[in-house]
Chain A
Amino acid sequence: MSKLTPPLPKFLRPAPARPGEKDNGEAGKPSAVDELKAGAAEGGAGVVGWLDERSGSSKLARSQLYRKVPKGTNWFYTLGSATLFAFVSQAVTGVFLAMYYNPDPARAYQSAAHITNEVFLGELVRGMHRWGATVMIILIFLHMGRTFVFGAYKYPRELNWIIGVILLVLTMAMGLTGYLLPFDQRSFWATVVGVNINASGPIMGPYLADFMRGGAEFGAASLSRFYAMHMLLIPGLIGALIGAHLYLVAKLGTTAPPWLKAEKKELQKEEI
């Protein structure tokens, strides 16, 4: 243990002895090196161990996966993860749809029809993206409802509620921008009306509509704009905000269900 020659980074060094304990160089709580050694003894000494020794990722994973959760945690607490899963599914299917889709007004409809009718499994992947969008909206509202009913938006989690509301708005924007992309009569006119609804806001509304259309009229630039927003701008923002959302969940922990509030505080935690 103490014979390791290269100077160890601080987090790998053994902890100093507690006061009163005999200082034999290895006292105190088990060090990260001991933990790594124990992990290595259990197996995974190959590639995983090599990576873990250098990145400390198992320590991070353990601290995240084995945190304490309140008593009474139940299936309603999985709605956030379900929403995240829906987003990942949308991202993956969306990336692959982009391999066949062509955001050109003359070719958009044909390329979308080509995906559905000719590409292998195209109907399935497009269908997953199309229905997954609806599922994601439903899951967001269920997740939001759970947070509201369980009082999980209260101090100190207000910021996470605010981030969640921004994520809701951004997801709606994904719905609006994605609806145009098949470029058939329904999606075209529904989007025209949708943009005009934005234009009905006083003072800033018409400017917002101009920004979305890329000009005063709904033209060829509008489709590329919607495509870029749908593909790059909004997903990037959503990804970053999901990161912040999850960070705050990990930092603050989850709330106990409201029916446990009356019980003693010590009873509310259990180790899983």
Chain B
Amino acid sequence: MADTPSKKPKRKSRYTADRGVAGAFEGETMTRRGLMTGGALAAGGVASAAFGLPALGFALGPMFEDGTPDRWQDLGPEADFNVESYVPKVMNLVAEIGEAGKTTVYVRKFDPKRDEPSPSDKEKNKEPQPYVAISTRCAHLGCPVRYIQASQRFVCPCHGGVYDFQGKVDGGPPVRPLDRFYTRVINGRVQVGERFSVNSELRRFKPRDPSNHLDGLWQYLYPSRPST
């Protein structure tokens, strides 16, 4: 491809013949060597993508799937619960991992005198959830919170998050109220369903990770995801 300096034009011609490439054809703009190099690179790229992209999609797939199945779990008869205090019950959050998938859920009856109905229900003129089922997952980093009846507060042991009787943040680092579960009553027995997150007005959102804000400008930094 080397050219003698004397013949070199000021601006390189697009024709290989003008550029003095050995064995150039008339009207040829790309050297055969250049075509082979590009072709080999392209073939390598296609071959790598052929296994790389499916493998990447395979690994990243769960990020874009709605993974939590909609299932209802029995917590016990209605007589077990009251409006005064939370009753701890054990439920299965992740079915397939045995003991580690079980979690405590704090349940009490919805109290129209004390509880403000969620704006999500009020706007659609719907009945509020019959029971308040509070998730023990702290909204800071996911440690398990404990309900203390004497102070009517939920307290997190890890970093001192405190929540009031409604599960709203009372102090410490949490960024939103405690998550809740959908509840229903079937044949006099209380059942819990999917988890949902709430903002400071108790408006319902799809379940979020702990530490993800749902109020103010911060909420726009933590958009809803396909998996939640």
Contacts and interface: CB of A to CB of B under 8 A. Distances in A.
Partners in one complex: yes
Interface of A: 105-106, 183, 185, 188-189, 192-193, 196-197, 199-200, 202-203, 205-207, 209-211, 213-221, 223
Contacts of A207: 63, 225
B118 interface: no
Interface of B: 59-60, 62-63, 65-68, 93-94, 96-98, 100-101, 141-144, 158, 207-212, 221-223, 225, 227-228
Given A193-B158, A206-B212, A219 B97 contact: yes
A210 B226 CA distance: 10
B141 A193 contact: yes
Contacts of A219: 94, 96-97, 101
Contacts of B101: 219
What's the dominant secondary structure at chain B's contact region?
A: loop
A86 B67 CA distance: 39
A223 B212 CA distance: 24
Nearest to A217: B94
A220 B97 contact: yes
A192 B221 CA distance: 22
A200 B140 CA distance: 9
Given A188-B100, A210-B63, A211-B63, A218 B94 contact: yes
Contact of A215 (B62, B93, B100): B62
B142 A196 contact: yes
Given A209-B209, A210-B62, A203 B96 contact: no
A215 B65 contact: yes
B211 A183 contact: no
A192 B207 contact: no
B133 to A, nearest CB: 17
B91 to A, nearest CB: 13
B164 to A, nearest CB: 22
A210 B225 contact: yes
Contacts, number: 84
B143 A216 contact: no
A183 B93 contact: no
- Of B60, B97, B210, which is in contact with the most chain A CB atoms at under 10 Å from its CB? B97
B206 to A, nearest CB: 9
Contacts of A205: 209, 212, 222
Contacts of A196: 141-142, 209-211
A216 B97 contact: no
18 contacts: A185-B100, A192-B142, A200-B210, A202-B222, A203-B221, A203-B222, A203-B223, A205-B222, A206-B209, A206-B222, A207-B63, A210-B225, A211-B62, A214-B62, A215-B227, A217-B67, A220-B96, A221-B62
Given A106-B98, A209-B209, A217 B141 contact: no
B221 A216 contact: no
A211 B60 contact: yes
Given A211-B62, A219-B97, A223-B97, 13 more contacts: A105-B97, A106-B97, A189-B144, A193-B142, A199-B212, A200-B141, A203-B222, A207-B63, A211-B60, A216-B228, A217-B67, A219-B96, A219-B101
B218 to A, nearest CB: 8
Contact of A200 (B68, B211, B228): B211
Contacts of B96: 105, 219-220
B98 A199 contact: no
- Of B94, B101, B221, B223, which is in contact with the most chain A CB atoms at under 10 Å from its CB? B94
A200 B212 contact: yes
A210 B63 CA distance: 5
B227 A216 contact: yes
Nearest to B64: A210
A-B residue pairs, 10 tightest by C-beta: A200-B211, A202-B221, A199-B209, A215-B67, A105-B97, A196-B142, A210-B63, A215-B62, A219-B94, A216-B227
